[in-house]
Amino acid sequence: MDKYKDKTQDIDVRVENLLSRMTLKEKVGQLNQKMFGWNAYRRKGDSIELTEEFKAAVEFGDGMGALYGLFRADPWSGVTFDTGIPVEKSAQVANMIQRYVIENTRLGIPVLISEECPHGHQALDGTMLPTNLGIGCTWNPELYREAASQVAAEIRSRGGNLGLISLLDIVRDPRWGRSEECFSEDPYHAARMAVAAVKGLQGEVWEELKSGDKVVAVMKHFCAQGASVGGHNAAPAPIGERELREIFLPGMKAGVEAGALGCMAAYNEIDGIPCHANKKLLIDILRDEWGFDGIVMADGIAIDKLLSLTGDHEGAAALALTSGIDLSLWDDSFTTLEEAVKQGKVSEEYIDRAVSRVLKLKFMLGLFENPYTDENLASQVVCSPRAEKVNLQLARESIVMLKNEDNLLPIDKDIRSIAVIGPNADNLYNQLGDYTAPQRKNTGFTVLQGLESVAPPQTELIYAKGCGIRDMSKEGFQEAIDAAKRADIAVVVLGGSSARDFSTVFDINGAAIIGGDPAEMDCGEGVDLADLELGGVQVELLKEIEKTGTPVVVVLIQGRPHAIPWIAENCKAILCGWYPGKEGGRAIAEVLFGDYNPSGKLSVSIPRASAQLPVYYNHKDLGLVNSYLDMDRAPLYHFGHGLSYTEFKYSNLKVLDGELTVKDLQEGKNIKVKVSVENTGDLPGEEVVQLYILDLEASIMRRIKELKGFKKMHLNPGEKRDVIFTLGEEELGIWNREMEFCVEPGNVKIFVGGNSQDNLETTYTII
């Protein structure tokens, strides 16, 4: 028996044995992910067959490294419920793909099936979770890990095995359309969420990949897309190595430590070097410094963009390969690698290096022993009660109550009538975010539908759309005004939309191209804004509703923090629901009626205006001038803010340890910080306890405050509990003048509280 077929052999032995048998053409085939998966099949009624295009692609490479988006369904792919792969046939089609590749190639190497899952699997009937910005506001990594585990089970049950998931981007400029894909403006917070996703998708150890309900986590995007100039998608990131290491690298580093086996390079350049050609990033830091042992995937057609540096496809392929890219995505350049070797532009040893990584992943997944998927499994896993339960809880915990003046909320259960108004009051797609598959009718809950399910039977709900997201028409104003006048309270649901439709024009990589008449889509990939005020005539509508004298609750459904100065000043109650997913309307209704006590906290600061940016909390000391002449420098709502229907009191902040030295911390000892938290209100609730530090004596300029710990805890009325945080070398270390990570002696101020502003504080001295 060939060693690579012997499952008792060590994986590295199997990889080496298989690699030694491969021709150069077969090797190059393993590095290509050229075709769109939705072009690999054609559905005719109830039957599905493989296309000649797919068969030609297999023949072209004498195999196939990976197939992207077999189950992807959306306006870009053009896949709908009529043309796409139903849940019950998913594994059957995946098995057809694997069987054809195995039986029609010399070595029978299985193919990786890679799937998008930025907030749930982007497939027909895939669970659509809240987008990452909302998930970040839960401050609940354990809950998110459970949700990611469900996503992994759905992908694997259909026959997929790679999950492409947004985990690495940091919101530094909310004008960027992909802000919704970020967890946070803070690196520590985002890294905690990234680790939860990796462990949910892959499990604790790589051996779980053979279990049949886990997938390889391909973390994207590496690195610093959120630092783009002007908030423009894929624009350069004008940052230095210190900013890179302090803000943008911690998520990937934490993912590597959690066992992540994949990452995707980012479109942007950093200080003049495209990420796909950045050897220092992809090899020196990722592999040599952190010990990453997985694959680096290119982003869509990104290698072809390197032609601006090399002038031809062979040169672009050679540059990307030698810089650390292992697997392509749709580009032409990597298909020329065989020719690049013949032209002397790249050595075959670099191809062997990349192929070994791809093959190793296939062995780790157990594809050589079990390439086929149980064809009855997907129907049991997708749309399961477990999926609905975790999705609903994520949506509940993502909701942030920004304001509740005069205790306008929760709504009294005896209320007679509620006006439900606004462009996002009854539009499910506007709750789902970008990268969303078509949805079945009569599934999910809009805010209106959520209120219908939660409101008492005697309560009348009066609906009026009022206006669009960006449409300037005021034709619906009068109907909305009349509805408000008839009601005891008005719930006005405003915000934005990342909903693509089948008339959207797309770039070559699937990003939306917005132009011509104002589109309702104002967020998502390729949809950046200059002005963060709410679009269209939404604020004008709200002003007219306010004039009726009916109490107003504003609910924001959005993918980025919009600037809402007038709303914050004039409306008594404001909920931020982000894009809360299919269960979002029900979750919002539960919060409005007090059936769920809101526990979300902002993971991103909300600005007063675009001109005020940046407003992230962890900035450097601004010196003597701390404000603008015409506007306060502080954000409208700061990082960590979020109200509850109960109250929490903090006390007894103490550092439990005696003096620790730099050497103690380097040897693994920790500083323990204790605080007492008490629910002093009348209702049970959840509080997010947050710990920040300020380095008072350092060899470099430090940020004014940095999150270094958080814990979400449930407290009953009158209940008081202690929380203990640990601070070690990782939390207290800095990148010094020589760009070496170390702990320095001196005083460190420690802050603990329920947000980034209102804290107890103490000081600790590192000897």
For 673-711, the pLDDT digits (tens) are 999 999 999 999 999 999 999 999 999 999 999 999 999
Q: Is the pLDDT of residue 338 over 60?
A: yes
| Judgement on whether residues 44 and 168 belong to the same structural domain of the protein | yes
Last residue of a domain, one of 552, 573, 604: 604
**Rounded CA gap, 764 and 767, in Å?**
10
| Judgement on whether residues 315 and 435 belong to the same structural domain of the protein | no
Amino acid present at 587: A
**Rounded CA gap, 589 and 137, in Å?**
18
| Judgement on whether residues 232 and 106 belong to the same structural domain of the protein | yes
| Judgement on whether residues 502 and 599 belong to the same structural domain of the protein | yes
Does 203 fall in a domain?
yes
Q: Dihedrals φ, ψ of 317, to 5°?
A: -65, -45
Classify residue 272 as exposed, middle or buried by CB count within 10 Å of its CB (0-12, 13-18, 19+). exposed
Beta carbons of 35 and 3 less than 8 angstroms apart: no
Classify residue 630 as exposed, middle or buried by CB count within 10 Å of its CB (0-12, 13-18, 19+). exposed
The domain that holds 39 is classified in CATH as 3.20.20.300
Q: Which residue has the tokens 């031809």?
A: 312
DSSP state, residue 283: I
**pLDDT, position 659:** 85
| Judgement on whether residues 411 and 548 belong to the same structural domain of the protein | yes
Q: Which residue has the tokens 């690999």?
A: 40
Does 617 fall in a domain?
no
Strands (E), 573-616: 573-576
**Rounded CA gap, 712 and 139, in Å?**
7
Does 584 fall in a domain?
yes
pTM: 0.96
Q: Count CA atoms closer than 13 A to 627's CA, side-chain side.
A: 7
Non-local CB neighbours of 63 within 8 Å, separated by 6+ positions: 26, 29, 30, 101, 105, 107, 109, 111
Mean pLDDT value of segment 253-265: 98
**751 C-beta neighbours (distance < 10 Å), count:** 21
What's the token pair of residue 476? Answer: 């619906």
**Rounded CA gap, 276 and 289, in Å?**
18
Beta carbons of 411 and 489 less than 8 angstroms apart: yes
Residue 720 bridge partners (DSSP): 678
Q: What is the 3-state secondary structure (H, E, C) of 730-752?
A: HHHCEECCCCCEECCCEEEEEEE
| Judgement on whether residues 117 and 196 belong to the same structural domain of the protein | yes
Does 452 fall in a domain?
yes
Beta carbons of 94 and 158 less than 8 angstroms apart: yes
Q: Is the pLDDT of residue 624 over 70?
A: no
What's the token pair of residue 454? Answer: 């939660």
Strands 706-715 and 685-695: antiparallel
Nearest to 299 by CA among 271, 279, 269: 269
Residue-wise pLDDT for 711-759, tens only, equals: 999 999 999 999 999 999 999 999 999 999 999 999 999 999 999 999 9
| Judgement on whether residues 108 and 203 belong to the same structural domain of the protein | yes
Mean pLDDT value of segment 13-21: 97
| Judgement on whether residues 422 and 531 belong to the same structural domain of the protein | yes
| Judgement on whether residues 334 and 422 belong to the same structural domain of the protein | no
Does 200 fall in a domain?
yes
Last residue of a domain, one of 346, 381, 416: 381
Beta carbons of 518 and 448 less than 8 angstroms apart: no
Residue-wise pLDDT for 20-64, tens only, equals: 999 999 999 999 999 999 999 999 989 999 999 999 999 988 999
Strand, coil or helix: 212:
coil
Number of folded domains in the chain? 3
Q: Is the pLDDT of residue 517 over 80?
A: no
Q: Which domain covers residue 711, as residue numbers?
A: 648-766
Nearest to 185 by CA among 251, 123, 236, 240: 251
| Judgement on whether residues 460 and 547 belong to the same structural domain of the protein | yes
Residue-wise pLDDT for 643-668, tens only, equals: 999 999 999 999 997 889 999 999 99
Q: What mean pLDDT, rounded, does the chain reach? A: 96
| Order of strands across the sheet that contains 66-68 | 66-68, 112-116, 162-166, 216-222, 262-265, 295-297
Mean pLDDT value of segment 91-115: 98
Residue-wise pLDDT for 195-244, tens only, equals: 999 999 999 999 999 988 999 999 999 999 999 999 999 999 999 999 99
Q: Which residue has the tokens 């539960």?
A: 590
223 cis-preceded (ω within 30 degrees of 0): yes
Mean pLDDT value of segment 359-369: 97
In this prediction, residue 95 has a pLDDT band, given cuts at 50, 70 and 90, of: very high
189 cis-preceded (ω within 30 degrees of 0): no
What's the token pair of residue 681? Answer: 């209100």
Residue-wise pLDDT for 554-602, tens only, equals: 999 999 999 999 999 999 999 999 999 999 999 999 999 999 999 999 9
In this prediction, residue 459 has a pLDDT band, given cuts at 50, 70 and 90, of: very high
Does 482 fall in a domain?
yes
Last residue of a domain, one of 604, 639, 656: 604
The domain that holds 580 is classified in CATH as 3.40.50.1700
| Judgement on whether residues 218 and 253 belong to the same structural domain of the protein | yes
Helix (H) or strand (E) holding 13: helix 11-20
Does 10 fall in a domain?
yes
The domain that holds 735 is classified in CATH as 2.60.40.10
| Judgement on whether residues 251 and 306 belong to the same structural domain of the protein | yes
**Rounded CA gap, 434 and 177, in Å?**
10
Nearest to 643 by CA among 698, 681, 600: 600
The more confident residue out of 504 and 688 is: 688
Does 610 fall in a domain?
no
Residue 676 bridge partners (DSSP): 651, 722
Beta carbons of 509 and 234 less than 8 angstroms apart: no
**pLDDT, position 154:** 98
